[in-house]
Amino acid sequence: MSRLTTPELTDIDAKTQGTLDTIAKQFGFAPGMFTTLAGNPAVLEIVMSLQGSIAKLLDAKTRHTIALATSHSNNCAYCSALHGYISTNLAGMSTEEIELARTGGSTDPKRAAVARFSQQVIETRGQVGDEDIAAVREAGYTDPEIQAIVTVVVVTLLTNYLNNVNDTAVDIPGAGA
């Protein structure tokens, strides 16, 4: 059971309800995480703004690989399930690719490197070693792309922490809890 209060839909202002409606259209359902965040419209707006901004970074499969690896490293069941759903239904990733990303791998060597690097960023709290930077560069990532990778990790970390603090109930279709 979630630990933070989720507002009643009748208590949500029109602007925030519009944001929730947009989210529901995008995903095909209304993830409970966003309804809980609607209890503080400024937080919901920040999360949505950050999500919109990182959509401009890297390609979708790489972003989702990072999100899956990060969510798994943070033991965030909610984000792992949500990113699995998004990766399957919106990014066209296979079940195998999703499971590999969660554990720091991929069938694509470049995405495997980004998954491992993302997990190193989490495990070292950003204090990665020179060998970690070298490995991600050797996979073909430029320094601006490494900055983008870290940004996606940190934005994912934010939602991981929000959901871990809340112990958000997994309400993702097909997640099987």
pLDDT-derived band of residue 176, with 50, 70 and 90 as boundaries? low
Range(s) within the chain of domains with CATH label 1.20.1290.10: 60-166
Q: List the CATH code of the domain at 60-166.
A: 1.20.1290.10
**Pairwise CA distance, residues 140 & 122, whole Å:** 21
**Residue 62 neighbours by CB under 8 Å, 6+ apart:** 110, 111, 114
Q: 92-110: per-residue pLDDT in tens? A: 999 999 999 999 999 999 9
Tokens 């990072």, residue? 66
Residue 73's alpha-carbon distances to 19, 52, 69, 108, in angstroms, are 29, 23, 6, 20
Q: Shortest CA distance to 117 belongs to which of 107, 108, 105?
A: 105
**Would you call 175 helix, strand, or coil by DSSP?**
coil
pLDDT at 177 over 80: no
